[in-house]
């Protein structure tokens, strides 16, 4: 049997159906901790703001990133984003892997 070395990025991509861009943004957000505006995330991840916005939209839809609105003192508002807790993501990956293992075992038994 061939063993495959899986990285955290590989596990995130497979478990949540993420693109490489989404994983890169998420991993950077996990390092940053706390609420950040799009501009801050873009600067920290060294990616274009529009690329980060697309990634954030998808990550929010998948329940991996949260969004909050902050009202500005002079009027207006901005959105802030943060990644879900790393331990919650780890639990979700483990849950998905257990389901996958049961599916594989069932397929092997049927074969």
**Domain boundaries defined on the chain:** 11-110
Q: Give per-residue pLDDT as tens, 10-66.
A: 889 989 999 999 999 999 999 988 899 999 999 998 999 999 999 999 999 999 999
* pTM attached to this predicted model: 0.83
Rounded Cα–Cα distance for residues 59 and 50 (Å): 14
Main-chain phi, psi angles of 77, to 5 degrees: -155, 170
Confidence grade of residue 1 (pLDDT, cut at 50, 70, 90): very low
The pLDDT confidence band at residue 3, using thresholds 50, 70 and 90, is low
Pick the CATH number of 11-110 from 3.40.50.620, 3.20.20.10, 1.10.10.10, 2.60.40.10: 1.10.10.10
pLDDT (0 to 100) of residue 33: 81
Residue 8 confidence (pLDDT): 87
pLDDT for the residue 13: 92
């Amino acid at each position: 049997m061939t063993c495959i070395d899986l990285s955290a990025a590989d596990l995130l991509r497979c478990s949540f159906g993420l693109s490489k861009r989404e994983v890169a943004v998420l991993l950077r957000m996990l390092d940053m901790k706390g609420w950040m505006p799009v501009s801050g995330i873009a600067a920290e991840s060294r990616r274009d703001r529009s690329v980060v916005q697309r990634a954030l939209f998808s990550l929010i839809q998948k329940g991996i990133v949260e969004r909050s609105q902050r009202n500005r003192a002079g009027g207006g508002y901005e959105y802030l984003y943060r990644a879900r807790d790393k331990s919650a993501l780890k639990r979700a990956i483990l849950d998905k892997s257990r389901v996958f293992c049961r599916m594989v075992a069932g397929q092997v038994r049927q074969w």
